[in-house]
Structures are given as C-alpha cells and as structure tokens.
Amino acid sequence: MQLDSSETNQTPGPNQLDVAVVQFAPGTDPSANLSALREHVRAARDRGARVVVAPEYSMFAVTRLDERVVAVAEPLTGPFVTGLGEIAREFGVHLVAGMVEQVAPGGSRIHNTLVVLGPDGTLVTKYRKVHLYDAFGFLESEVVEAGAIEAPAVFGVADVTFGLQTCFDLRFPEGIRRVATAGAQVLVLPAQWIPGPAKVDQWTTLLRARAIENTVYVAAADQAAPRGAGASMIIDPTGAVLAELGDEAGVLTASIDLVHLAEVRTTNPSLELRRFAIAQRAAE
C-alpha cells in the first residue's frame, strides 16, 4: 500500500515544514548508492521537502554484517559523507542518512552512524547507534561498536527540532523519551528493518506508539525489499499515519504542523505529566 500526503498537501503555512522519507534498496557500491539517493532527494525537493530522511546503512547494505562492511568503512570526512554533503547543497535540503563509520584506521570494528548534512553541505550533527541488533538470530555487536551515551542528537530547521535514533533503538522507549525531552518535535528514525514473521506489524505498532507516547511526529525511513521490510512512514503526534509505503522504493512527503503539535500537546500533556526520570543503566 502507498499513501503519499504530498498528493493533497497545499503550500506549507508559516508554522509548517515539509519533510520527506526516502525508501530505497542500497547495495554494496557506495557510489551507486549515492547516485540512487541523489535522484530520490531530487524528487523530494521537487515536492517541497526541506528535510529528507534516508535509511540506515544507505552507504552499504548487506543482510549480515561481516568483514565486507569493515573493509568499506570510512571516516566522517570520507567520500560518502562528502557526497551526501554535495547532494544536500545541490538541492538545498537537510539530508539524513546512515553510513558505515570507521572506528580506527585498519581496525576491525565500525560505528553504525547517522549523519545530518545541511543545505551548505556541512556536517550538522551525527548519531552513533546505541542499541545494537543482537536479536532475531543476528549479532550486530560482532562488528559494530555501540555509540557512547551522550546528549541526544538533535538539529533544528526553521522552528522545528528533529531528534535522531536508529532502527533497533525503536524497541527502547526510554531512549526515544530522552530525545523528546531534549526538545525534539520530530523523531527521525532511519532503519534497515530486517524482514521476518510479524516484523512489519511490530515496526508499524512501535512507530505509532513512540509518536503517541511522546507526542512527536515520526519520520521513519526503512530500506526497501529485499534487505528491508519497507513500510516507511510519516506519522503525526496522535499516531495517525500521514504517508506510508509498501516494500517498494519510493518517496513520501508530509507537513510538520507546529500548530497541530501544540494542540495535541495541550490536549494530551503526557510529557509534562510524566513522573519518572531516565537514568543510564550501569555497565555489567
């Protein structure tokens, strides 16, 4: 199923900002992945998007991580991030995408990293995945080094604050609550949500739950088939799905409406009414 709100949206008002989610199927050629992503960003910008969100592992995607992903890893100053910056500058957007970051030259581990490039092509912020996918028969931690627990990664565009999380982080509501309490009005969640029994149902349920409980918009960009389950979505703070895809490649757009967000948070002030803080779990 595909529902794309860009077909009905009017020109955004003063309290609105258009965002786009790109769903595509990256492979093992970073240059080819950049070229494919560029065309999707072009389509998103043609629809008026000022923020474009691409999937986790947009740089290099395999079903199981191994020495191939270590061999292709780059620093944040490498050609892939530089290429993302060129795309962001060409189309005048903030571009979010997942890359394979080198931990140390010649090392055996990587970071699973999200980068945000601004319209001037520079790196705005980054997020290194904290919760590693050691579940459903996979062991991401064999190759990936978890990111340090730091202040939530957020960035602003106009008057809208965006916060970053990645894929398996979705299953940990306390991490996303930290992002919301840091001021995020939109949760940006790139993913390579591995297909499997009930996985799409879990994905969509969790995305809507995170939107509802934190009263935030959610822009979730999954990989297309065959390595991703698809079902990319843009969700409003009531949990309503504004735009969604099946498992095919495509681009979704929708408007972030700060007036609507304020109304939802007035009606349902769950962030203000919370009684518990979040503390980092001690290392075992």
pLDDT digit string (tens) for 192-225?
Answer: 999 999 999 999 999 999 999 999 999 999 999 9
Q: So which residues are the catalytic ones?
A: 56, 129, 167
Predicted confidence at residue 15, as pLDDT, reads 79
Answer yes or no: are the C-beta atoms of 50 and 88 closer than 8 Å.
no
User: What percent of the chain is modeled with pLDDT above 70?
Assistant: 94
> Tokens 């962001």 correspond to what residue?
88
Q: For residues 68-81, give the mean pLDDT.
A: 97
User: pLDDT value at position 7?
Assistant: 41
pLDDT at 9: 42
What gap in Å lies between CA 24 and CA 248, rounded to an integer? 7
pLDDT, tens only, 139-149: 999 999 999 99
pLDDT digits (tens, 9 = 90+) for 96-121: 999 999 999 989 999 999 999 999 99
CATH architecture of residue range(s) 5-269: 4-Layer Sandwich (3.60)
pLDDT of 4 higher than 50: no
Going by pLDDT thresholds of 50, 70 and 90, the confidence category of residue 153 is: very high
